[in-house]
């Protein structure tokens, strides 16, 4: 049950990020802010849920063999490395936006958004490969 909840939180985060991106492209700043704050909140809930689950369950071993195994571990490696990077990127982007330092916010958000989106979507893919294949 918890892995499904965590994957759903990742998917919701990705949807909020994309919606926020489209809002800012349309210059709908208030809606953009609401979506990005919601994405940050959902990602924070995800992080605590993920950590609590793995504290109890431990590491989950990937049991499949064949061509899917290196695909899974390549995806997992990129997901894990970028997940570590997205935390400071998102925090800096959020802090700059909240301080109304929009030019500096935009400079980091150009990097944070695609990384954050990749981490959210690759998290769903990892879940599907680990629990649904």
What's the CA dihedral at 2, 115, 77, 67 to 10 degrees?
Answer: 90
- The alpha helices in the chain, defined as continuous H runs, are 2-25, 29-57, 68-98, 102-127
Could you tell me the residue ranges of all domains in the chain?
2-132
User: Would you write out the chain's pLDDT as a tens digit for each of its 133 residues?
Assistant: 999 999 999 999 999 999 999 999 999 999 999 999 999 999 999 999 999 999 999 999 999 999 999 999 999 999 999 999 999 999 999 999 999 999 999 999 999 999 999 999 999 999 999 999 8
């Amino acid at each position: 049950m918890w892995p499904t909840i965590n994957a759903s939180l990742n998917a919701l985060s990705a949807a909020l990020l994309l919606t926020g991106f489209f809002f800012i492209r349309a210059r709908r700043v208030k809606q953009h802010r609401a979506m990005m704050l919601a994405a940050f909140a959902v990602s924070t809930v995800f992080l605590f849920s993920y950590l609590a689950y793995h504290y109890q369950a431990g590491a989950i071993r990937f049991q499949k063999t064949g061509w899917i195994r290196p695909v899974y571990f390549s995806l997992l490696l990129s997901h894990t490395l970028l997940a570590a990077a997205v935390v400071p990127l998102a925090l800096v982007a959020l802090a700059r936006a909240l301080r109304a330092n929009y030019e500096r916010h935009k400079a980091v958000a150009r990097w944070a958004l695609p990384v954050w989106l990749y981490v959210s979507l690759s998290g769903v893919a990892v879940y599907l490969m680990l629990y649904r294949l």
